[in-house]
């Protein structure tokens, strides 16, 4: 009698490709921003809107796409999303004008939202034991590597293909990796949830529209003449209208969520979960961290390429030290958390330490910019280790720390809400910090404006540390 053949080894590498793509796409867009602005002859307000719009639909679609994967099959949703990433990458690369590029970026965010929730849920369903732990660790490594790849590889592609086609080729590279993941997805094991939750399509549309209007309003603020805002009232009025519409949309989510709670239907922002202090703090921390990261990457690309005349590749090389420090510290973070007392106690301590490191790096960079020390690229490396190391120590343990601070019965939904907060933060960071930078640049030299903007970000890092300390008070006792 023939022996039973061994079960085929589970293949999960396509999940890592998409994990890499999630941060690679954001970094590529940021480093390509000056090229987009020059090629399409659009103002910086529209450029930052193009970069940030992706995060609006990404954030709004995450929770619903996760539930669709539970219901319809995670591999099926993964294949749908990777195909969408490939198509939208080509659309962004070929866009002839601002309007079509903006639409392509919004669709690209939807495609990214379809894939990302399937990664950790598939790892959870497919793997067990040590294999699962190793896969979760690799997830963090690939997420951090995407930032490095986006800065260096994206910068190299931009420079290689020149000012006219560089940013288009960089966006096309997203499509190449997406096709690679789509082909590999055929080897993934199909999984579903035994008890899938219902959908909230209306809530997702309201949230996505409100976030887009908010990002549009904030970026439009850069068009206001800071020295004489009432001279030309058009930008002021349009900014006020966009922000008012965004606030109205966000306010509509409150009665919408309560109505669905009363009728027992799931909501995009479930009210019972959002009432948990640990969840609110965790989502705020995720939003705040990625607000700082998103705004920093965008403004750094503008300063170095437009202000200093660096090529995109040189910008990527200059930021390589920061990106490597980010990856290294995010890999070390779990061991540091364990040594300091585990997620519930040690985790918040690591987050506070990380916020101090980043604040020191940002303060040093702000002073460096104000003093106009040269060569900037060399002095920047001293700040980069602190900034990247701090950000990596923030990102690495954030999810486990939040999970330790919330009740078990809401832990499943908390992960999706944290991811939503991350993408919201990126969009808001690009919108807010680029608007502050552009506004100050109307009044002073660009490098000086960058210095003051960076010093302002120190305040956000301090707030992050204070909230992380509060989060430790909500940790569950083991």
pLDDT tens digits for range 378-435: 999 999 999 999 998 888 778 777 767 666 555 556 667 788 888 888 888 888 898 8
Domain co-membership, 237 together with 167: no
For residue 412, the model assigns a pLDDT of 57
The average pLDDT across 290-316 equals 92
**Is there a domain that residue 151 lies in?**
yes
Domain co-membership, 280 together with 138: no
pLDDT tens digits for range 18-28: 989 988 998 89
**Is there a domain that residue 196 lies in?**
no
**Is there a domain that residue 195 lies in?**
no
Domain co-membership, 280 together with 263: no
Domain co-membership, 330 together with 426: yes
**Is there a domain that residue 30 lies in?**
yes
Q: What is this structure's pTM?
A: 0.86
Q: Is the pLDDT of residue 146 over 70?
A: yes
Domain co-membership, 123 together with 230: no
**Is there a domain that residue 316 lies in?**
yes
Domain co-membership, 261 together with 282: no
pLDDT tens digits for range 186-222: 888 888 877 777 778 888 888 888 888 888 888 887 7
Length of the chain, please? 478
The average pLDDT across 459-477 equals 80
Domain count within the chain: 3
User: End of a domain among 189, 210, 230?
Assistant: 189
User: End of a domain among 154, 189, 224?
Assistant: 189
Select from 177, 193, 175 the least CA-distant residue to 74: 193
The average pLDDT across 150-154 equals 88
- Give the C-alpha separation, 396 to 416, whole Å: 16
- Give the C-alpha separation, 204 to 113, whole Å: 12
Here the CATH number for the domain that contains residue 62 is 1.20.1250.20
**Is there a domain that residue 2 lies in?**
no
Q: Is the pLDDT of residue 78 over 80?
A: yes
Q: Domain containing 134: what range?
A: 10-189
Domain co-membership, 386 together with 406: yes
pLDDT tens digits for range 157-194: 999 998 889 999 999 999 999 999 999 988 888 888 77
- Give the C-alpha separation, 215 to 200, whole Å: 23
Q: Are 423 and 291 in contact (CB under 8 A)?
A: no
Greater confidence, 296 or 60? 296
**Is there a domain that residue 468 lies in?**
yes
Select from 394, 289, 283 the least CA-distant residue to 337: 394
Domain co-membership, 30 together with 168: yes
- Give the C-alpha separation, 218 to 373, whole Å: 31
Domain co-membership, 51 together with 159: yes
Domain co-membership, 472 together with 389: yes
Domain co-membership, 437 together with 473: yes
User: End of a domain among 133, 167, 189?
Assistant: 189
Domain co-membership, 112 together with 153: yes
- Give the C-alpha separation, 421 to 325, whole Å: 24
């Amino acid at each position: 009698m023939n022996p039973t053949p061994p079960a085929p080894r589970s293949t999960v590498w396509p999940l890592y490709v998409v994990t890499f793509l999630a941060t690679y796409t954001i970094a590529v867009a940021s480093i390509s921003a000056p090229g987009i602005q020059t090629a399409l002859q659009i103002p910086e307000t529209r450029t930052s809107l193009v970069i940030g719009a992706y995060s609006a639909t990404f954030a709004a679609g995450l929770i619903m796409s996760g539930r669709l994967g539970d219901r319809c099959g995670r591999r099926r949703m993964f294949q749908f999303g990777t195909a969408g990433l490939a198509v939208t990458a080509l659309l962004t690369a070929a866009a002839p004008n601002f309007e079509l590029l903006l639409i392509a970026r919004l669709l690209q965010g939807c495609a990214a939202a379809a894939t990302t929730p399937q990664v950790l849920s598939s790892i959870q369903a497919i793997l067990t034991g040590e294999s699962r732990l190793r896969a979760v660790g690799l997830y963090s490594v690939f997420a951090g590597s995407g930032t490095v790849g986006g800065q260096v590889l994206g910068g190299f592609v931009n420079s290689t293909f020149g000012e006219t086609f560089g940013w288009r080729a960089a966006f096309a590279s997203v499509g190449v990796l997406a096709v690679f993941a789509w082909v590999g997805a055929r080897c993934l094991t199909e999984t579903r949830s035994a008890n899938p939750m219902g959908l909230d399509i209306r809530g997702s549309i309201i949230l996505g529209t409100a976030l887009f209007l908010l990002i549009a309003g904030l970026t439009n603020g850069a068009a206001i003449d800071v020295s004489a805002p009432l001279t030309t009232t058009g930008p002021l009025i349009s900014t006020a209208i966009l922000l008012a519409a965004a606030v109205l949309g966000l306010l509509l989510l409150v009665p919408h969520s309560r109505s669905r709670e009363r009728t027992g239907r799931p909501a995009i922002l479930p009210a019972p979960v959002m009432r948990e202090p640990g969840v609110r703090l965790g989502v705020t921390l995720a939003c705040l961290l990625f607000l700082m990261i998103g705004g920093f990457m965008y403004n750094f690309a503008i300063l170095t390429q437009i202000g200093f005349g660096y090529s995109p590749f040189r910008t990527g090389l200059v930021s390589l030290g920061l990106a490597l420090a980010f990856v290294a510290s995010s890999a070390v973070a779990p061991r540091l958390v364990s040594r300091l007392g585990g997620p519930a106690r040690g985790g918040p301590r690591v987050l506070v330490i990380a916020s101090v490191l980043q604040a020191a790096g940002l303060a040093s960079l702000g002073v460096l910019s104000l003093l106009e020390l040269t060569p900037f690229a060399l002095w920047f490396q001293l700040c980069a280790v602190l900034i990247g190391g701090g950000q990596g120590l923030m990102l690495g343990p954030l999810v486990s720390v939040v999970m330790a601070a919330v009740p078990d019965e809401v832990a499943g939904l908390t992960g999706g809400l944290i991811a939503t907060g991350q993408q919201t933060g990126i969009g808001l960071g690009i919108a807010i910090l680029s608007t502050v930078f552009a506004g100050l640049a109307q009044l002073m030299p660009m490098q000086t404006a960058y210095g003051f903007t960076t010093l302002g970000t120190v305040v956000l890092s301090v707030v992050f540390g204070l909230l992380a300390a509060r989060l430790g008070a909500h940790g569950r006792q083991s």
